[in-house]
Structure 1
Amino acid sequence: MSDLKQAGFQSGDIFSQLNNALQSFNDEEKKSLQKKTNAIFELQIKNKEGIEATWTIDVKNEPKVYKGAADTKPGVTLIMGDETFQALAEGKLDGQKAFMSGKLKTKGNMMLATKLDGVLKSTKAKAKL
């Protein structure tokens, strides 16, 4: 698997930790998360310099995180800044507040975006975010 970190993006560290946490789940935990979520999230992140990078969190097929656009059509694409994703991952920002304030934009099934919070929370203990 390619390195998930990218220079100039603090989100890369979070994606790496998320992937490590997902890989550490046993089969039962993975199946439970897949059943609850059943989604592919494509995240388009822009850093302070205005450079964009894309990561995908797949919780539909084999739970994993990878760099780049989704291999298959994502259920939802989330567009936000690097700091916004960090705050969401750390639980310091609520997804609905981020959306309502314009810090988070979505394409696709907006209701799936609400399930990302569950993925972040379920991996947080193992990822140590």
Structure 2
Amino acid sequence: MSVNVPGYKSSPYFEQLKTNIEANPESYIKKAKGTYEFHIKNKDDKEQTWTIELKDKGAVTAEASKSKPDIVLTLTDDVFVDLVDGKLNGQKAFMQGKLKVKGNVMLATKLDGVLKAAKAKL
């Protein structure tokens, strides 16, 4: 199932993450150990949810988590792209109010390596 959602710059990154994670789920589960739910607003002020499940199976979906996520990240499409591209640091985005985090904040630090893998392939 595709995770590409028209109207979002983030979509290709989630597609690449899905490909990477499905190819080697154990590696990503070992790195991140958690369920990450992203609420991303695009330029039209529409919100899309993506979930990266790295607890048991290693999956990326374009929907809310079926179970309670360990961490929920709320941000704009542009901020997500800047984070993955390395133009913006997650901690700085959080401090500037561009990134809202609920849940296990420590998991956010583990996400950096997972997101960088998406950039490397694009």
The equivalences for 1:81-120 within 5 A come to 81-120=76-115
Deviation at 1:122, TM superposition (A): 4.0
Cα deviation digits, residues 48-103 of structure 1 (max 9, x gap):
11100000011111111101101211100000000000011112211001101110
Give the drift of 1:123.
Answer: 4.6
**Letter paired with 1:9:** Y
Q: Which of 38, 42, 46 lines up with 2:41 in the alignment?
A: 46
Aligned pairs for 1:1-129 within 5 A? 1=1, 3-25=2-24, 30-125=25-120, 128-129=121-122
TM-score, length of structure 2 as denominator length: 0.92
Aligned AA for 1:35? K
Distance in 2 of aligned mates of 1:65 and 1:34: 12
Contact 2:29/2:54 (8 A) holds in 1: yes
Tell me how far apart the structure 2 counterparts of residues 33 and 110 of structure 1 sit (CA, whole Å): 18
How far residue 33 of structure 1 moved from its aligned partner, in angstroms, is 2.6
1:124 to partner: Cα distance: 4.0
C-alpha separation in 1, matches of 2:118 and 2:43: 26
In structure 2, runs of 5+ residues without a counterpart are none
Identity of aligned residues (%): 48
Q: Measure how far apart 1:21 and its partner are.
A: 1.2
Give unpaired runs (5+ residues) of structure 1. Answer: none
